[in-house]
């Protein structure tokens, strides 16, 4: 019988990352997850995953390496990496200034890149899969009245996702992006609950964290064995 896949979700303590943990556990995978901030969410993750829950701040260069080493030390391999970390920044460029652009590049691009680089060798050994998160509407490089620094950084991440997918293809590693639209959850930005924002979703109603987890699970599965370099919107048509 085939071994269950070993999956690491970075940013697993809440929201979409937590839903990915639920989905992979439901499948019978061996699931590792990380939290950054101490508190109730981290404790809940630890209660679910035990020794497979660890602290990781992608802002600290050594953390990603330590987490990946711990996964492989415990379970011997890594088949899938899901990077759900990435602090949302609402507001305009005028509100936040250029410091926000630097901070968002660190949060959405440099941190996720650290996770991927730390995992690369193990993913190649397993011919595994990676999923990053973008935001709906990256295609076409639209201007943004709000959250421009956040969206610009997500656009940069998309270029890296496509570049990694090219570099890794001959090693059998697939690299994809899933792009949510409006996904309210107990810890999400209050903007996601704004009726005016939700009214702009063509498939009426909010996308759920579980909707994203379903897409992530599929992209990591053998059913998607020939899918790489895509940006898959799971957004009810938001930002079309």
Ligand X SMILES: NC(=O)c1ccc[n+]([C@@H]2O[C@H](COP(=O)([O-])OP(=O)(O)OC[C@H]3O[C@@H](n4cnc5c(N)ncnc54)[C@H](OP(=O)(O)O)[C@@H]3O)[C@@H](O)[C@H]2O)c1
Among 70, 72, 110, 188, binds ligand X (CB under 6 A): 188
Scanning 85-93, 159-167, 168-176, 218-226 for contacts with ligand X by CB under 6 A, the matching segment is 85-93
Q: Given the structure tokens 């992979």, which residue do they identify?
A: 24
Residue 150 annotated as catalytic: yes
Among 6, 7, 16, 126, binds ligand X (CB under 6 A): 16
Q: Which is nearer to ligand X, 11 or 128 (CB)?
A: 11
Q: Is 218 in the site for ligand X (CB under 6 A)?
A: no
Q: Given the structure tokens 């201007």, which residue do they identify?
A: 143
Q: Which residues pair with 54 in a beta bridge?
A: 34
CB 158, min distance to ligand X, A: 12
- Asked if 7 and 33 touch (Cβ cutoff 8 Å), the reply is no
Name the H helices within the chain: 15-27, 40-49, 61-75, 93-96, 98-105, 111-126, 148-169, 195-198, 209-220
| List 150, 152, 155, 239, catalytic entry | 150
Burial zone of 133 (CB within 10 Å; 0-12 exposed, 13-18 middle, 19+ buried): buried
x/- track of binding to ligand X for residues 33-62 (CB under 6 A): --xxx---xx-------------xxxx---
CB 227, min distance to ligand X, A: 19
Scanning 116-124, 163-171, 178-186, 220-228 for contacts with ligand X by CB under 6 A, the matching segment is 178-186
Tell me the C-alpha distance between 127 and 120, whole Å.
Answer: 10
Tell me the C-alpha distance between 73 and 106, whole Å.
Answer: 28
End-to-end CA distance of the chain: 43
Residues identified as active-site: 150
Q: Which residues bind ligand X (CB under 6 A)?
A: 10-17, 35-37, 41-42, 56-59, 84-88, 107, 111, 133, 135, 180, 182-183, 187-188, 192
């Amino acid at each position: 019988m085939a071994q269950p896949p070993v999956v690491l979700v970075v940013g697993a303590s809440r929201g979409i990352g937590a839903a990915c943990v639920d989905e992979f556990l439901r499948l019978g995978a061996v699931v590792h997850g990380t939290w950054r901030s101490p508190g109730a969410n981290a404790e809940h993750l630890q209660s679910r995953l035990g020794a497979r829950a660890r602290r990781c701040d992608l802002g600290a260069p050594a953390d990603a390496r330590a987490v990946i080493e711990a996964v492989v030390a415990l379970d011997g391999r890594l088949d899938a990496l899901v990077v759900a970390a990435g602090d949302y920044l609402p507001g305009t460029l005028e509100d936040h200034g250029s410091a926000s652009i630097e901070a968002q590049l660190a949060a959405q691009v440099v941190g996720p890149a650290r996770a991927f680089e730390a995992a690369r060798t193990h993913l190649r050994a397993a011919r595994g899969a990676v999923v990053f998160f973008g935001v709906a509407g990256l295609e076409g490089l639209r201007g943004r009245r709000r959250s421009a620094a956040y969206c610009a950084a997500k656009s940069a991440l998309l270029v890296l996702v496509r570049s990694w997918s090219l570099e890794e293809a001959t090693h059998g590693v697939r690299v994809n992006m899933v792009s949510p639209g409006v996904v309210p959850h107990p810890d999400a930005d209050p903007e996601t609950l704004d009726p005016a924002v939700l009214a702009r979703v063509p498939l009426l109603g909010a996308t759920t964290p579980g909707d994203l987890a379903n897409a992530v699970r599929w992209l990591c599965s053998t059913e998607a064995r020939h899918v790489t370099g895509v940006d898959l919107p799971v957004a009810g048509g938001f930002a079309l």
